[in-house]
A = this chain, B = another copy of it.
Amino acid sequence: MLSTMQDVPLTVTRILVHGVLVHGTSQITTWTGEGEPQRRSFREAGTRAVQLANALRDDLGVTGDERVATLMWNNAEHVEAYFAIPSMGAVLHTLNLRLPADQLVFIVNHAADRVVIVNGSLLPLLAPLLPHLPTVEHVVVSGPGDRSLLDGANVRVHEYEELIAGKPTTYDWPEIDERQAAAMCYTSGTTGDPKGVVYSHRSIYLHSMQVNMAQSMGLTDRDTSLVVVPQFHVNAWGLPHATFMTGINMLMPDRFLQPGPLAEMIESEKPTHAAAVPTIWQGLLTELRAKPRDVSSLTQVTIGGSACPPSLMEAFDDLGMRVCHAWGMTETSPLGTIARPPAHAVGTDEEFGYRLTQGRFPASVEARLTGPGGERLPWDGESAGELEVRGPWIAGAYYGGQGAEPLRPADKFSEDGWLKTGDVGTISADGFLTLTDRAKDVIKSGGEWISSVDLENALMSHPDVAEAAVVAVPDEKWGERPLATVVMKAGSTADFETLRGFLAEEGKIAKWQLPERWTIIESVPKTSVGKFDKKVLRRQYAEGELDVTKL
């Protein structure tokens, strides 16, 4: 029996129209580094988005579901592109300006971007790539920067402001099926080529509603959100869409992501909320300690990307900024969990523990844990397994390229369509996720899992240890066993037996999990973003480059 409800699609267009019409006076404030920030109302930005859509269609010939790329900081123009491109039926492709050049080239070619909108300040990054980007015909430049860098490039160059000036302020928006593509973002996997995640109008709409739910970020038009998380990174966690849905004001840092300017914009613009990764926020803390400012407006900070160290969380509590963990990934739009403590824990000793978890799943994100043998594990806060998730804003495949089938690699998607997150952790009986490791780093020993992260944290709590990385190495009897690679502090005296004994003390680590293989290294190899690069250690071990002691 069919319902008698209207069949109205959930689209980005609807969010745009609503934001302009009902929340027209809400503001996007973009930091300019000097003098007054740029201030633009939702009505102005939305109207300019309509003009941009007209320009893209009429002047640049964008039709159908062509991809239009952005290589931009967080600013009002980027928000305009966020709404113009999907609303006209095209696909917004945000380019991650932190990626190595070869990956950027791969991504633009794979998506077959024909137009790139770029901030002038990023032309030094884009210009050298253009000879390798045969699909790109148009480059639209916004904001300050040296245009001469584009001299000789085989593209048509447009000034953003000139392009949209005088364009019509209405557009006959196409009827869009909510399952059609609206935006895409490539993941920078550590192995293989980047993979494209394609968001639908439906997934963006539902995700925006979720972000605005009181139990998630729960902001209203009384709030101003400092959107530090980049717009090229999973749609800035959905904030530009969520804000247009309910009139939340946005404060955009543009390229001024250093602790000094961030402290300055908080003091002068008084945001109530911020969204950022821990490293940025750690830098802000150092800045505020060196030079105190009035940051009292900022009471809620959503932290994701990686876990916030407890000490950092406490330091911000002291400043009156309450940090709230969230977990997600490019494949999850990204809101997968958010760590609002349950009612019974509020004001008790349990509360901080809940805040240190990755958070609780909302209704739209189903979760399950898969153990080493493929078995389903209980939600008991003890059983650690790989997290798999399902939901209307969770990826079920990767973009296969124009005309090609979507990619569903078996290590990323289960046979029944769930996303294998590659994260290992536990889920409590009340639905709180605690991540303990990455699946690729976990040590699979005799059908059980050993967390490399737990071993590393325990090792690094020893006073003689500067750094420690634990990787899985092949073992005849157990399949895999942990190898402890340790950087000792200068002048330290502890030997491996002592360290092993330290790990065993007071039940820090179960006996069967203790490493037999140990080695001293000069420093732990790191990736470009500063994470431990365990691939290198595994290769060094395999090639016999490490001097390993077996206890």
A198 near B3 (CB under 8 angstroms)?
Answer: yes
* Chain B residues with CB under 8 A of A18: 361-363
Within the complex, what minimum Cβ distance (angstroms) separates A101 from chain B? 25
Shortest Cβ distance from residue A278 to the other chain B in the assembled complex, whole angstroms? 25
A213 and B221 contacting across the interface, CB-CB below 8 Å: no
Known: A214-B218, A220-B214, A363-B18. A398 touches B342 (CB 8 A): no
Complex: A218 Cα to B364 Cα, angstroms: 17
Cβ of A535 under 8 Å from chain B: no
Of A5-13, A50-58, A150-158, A254-262, the one with at least 4 CB within 8 A of chain B: A5-13
Q: Which of B182, B210, B246 contacts A215 (CB 8 A)?
A: B246
Task: Identify which of A21-29, A473-481, A518-526 touches chain B.
Answer: A21-29
**Closest chain B residue to A26, Cβ basis:** B343
A271 at interface (Cβ–Cβ under 8 A)?
no
Report which of B14, B203, B222, B431 forms a contact with A22, defined as CB distance below 8 A: B431
Q: Which residue of B lies closest to A391 (CB)?
A: B8
Main secondary structure of the interface of A (DSSP, over half): loop
Chain B hits for A196, CB < 8 A = 4
Taking A340-B220, A390-B8 as contacts, is the C-beta distance between A22 and B430 under 8 angstroms? Answer: yes
How far, in whole Å, are A285 and B247 apart by their CA atoms in the complex? 35
**A104: min CB distance to chain B, Å:** 20
Q: Mark A405-430, 1 if CB is under 8 A from B, else 0.
A: 01000000000010100000000011
Distance in angstroms between the alpha carbons of A436 and B361 in the assembled complex: 43
Cross-chain contact of A245 among B344, B346, B363 (Cβ < 8 A): B363
Of all chain B residues, which has the CB nearest A17?
B366
Given A14-B363, A363-B18; A7-B215 close (CB under 8 Å): no
Q: Does A551 contact B (CB under 8 A)?
A: no
Contacts of A73 in B (CB 8 A): none
**Binary interface profile of A, 206-220, with partner B (CB < 8 Å = 1, else 0)?**
100110111100111
Q: Which residues of B contact A247 (CB under 8 A)?
A: 215, 342-343
Tell me whether A490 is interfacial, beta carbon within 8 Å.
Answer: no
Q: Which residues of B contact A392 (CB under 8 A)?
A: 5-8, 10
A365-400 at interface with B (beta carbon < 8 Å): 366, 379, 390-399
Give residues 224-258 of A contacting B (CB, 8 Å). Answer: 245-247
Chain B neighbourhood of A137, CB < 8 A: none
Q: Please indicate the chain B residues that have their CB under 8 angstroms from the CB of A394 in the complex.
A: 5-6, 8
| A221 and B342 form a contact (CB under 8 A) | yes
Q: Is the CB of A198 within 8 A of B6?
A: no
A75 within 8 A of B: no
Contact B406 A214 (CB under 8 A): no
Q: Is A360 an interface residue (CB 8 A)?
A: yes
A197 at the A/B interface (Cβ < 8 Å)?
yes
Bound-complex Cα distance A220 to B343 (A)? 9
Q: Which residues of B contact A6 (CB under 8 A)?
A: 390-392, 394-396, 417, 419
B214:A4 contact, CB within 8 angstroms = no
CA of A344 to CA of B221, assembled, Å? 9
Least CB separation from A331: chain B residue:
B4
Q: Which residues of B contact A197 (CB under 8 A)?
A: 4
Nearest opposing residue in chain B for A224, CB measure: B343
With a CB–CB cut-off of 8 A, which chain B residues contact A181?
Answer: 1-3
CB distance from A40 to the nearest CB of B (A): 17
A266 within 8 A of B: no
B363 touches A15 (CB 8 A): yes
Q: Which of A6, A7, A14: most chain B Cβ within 10 A?
A: A6
Contacts of A199 in B (CB 8 A): 3, 5
- When the two chains form their complex, are residues B22 and A360 in contact, meaning their CB atoms are under 8 A apart? yes
A198 and B2 within 8 A (CB): yes
Q: Are A393 and B246 in contact (CB under 8 A)?
A: no
- Whether A180 sits at the interface, judged by CB under 8 Å, is yes
Contacts of A118 in B (CB 8 A): none
With a cutoff of 8 Å between Cβ atoms, the chain B residues found around residue A429 in the complex are 24
A48 CB contacts on chain B under 8 angstroms? none
- Cβ-defined contact, A343 with B221, below 8 A: yes
18 contacting pairs across A/B (C-beta < 8 A): A2-B179, A5-B198, A5-B394, A5-B396, A6-B394, A10-B206, A14-B364, A14-B366, A21-B379, A22-B361, A22-B363, A23-B430, A24-B429, A26-B343, A209-B213, A213-B246, A214-B218, A214-B220
* Seed contacts A10-B206, A214-B246; 18 additional CB < 8 Å A-B pairs: A1-B65, A2-B200, A3-B179, A3-B180, A3-B200, A4-B397, A4-B398, A5-B199, A5-B200, A5-B202, A5-B395, A5-B396, A8-B366, A8-B391, A206-B209, A213-B214, A214-B220, A246-B363
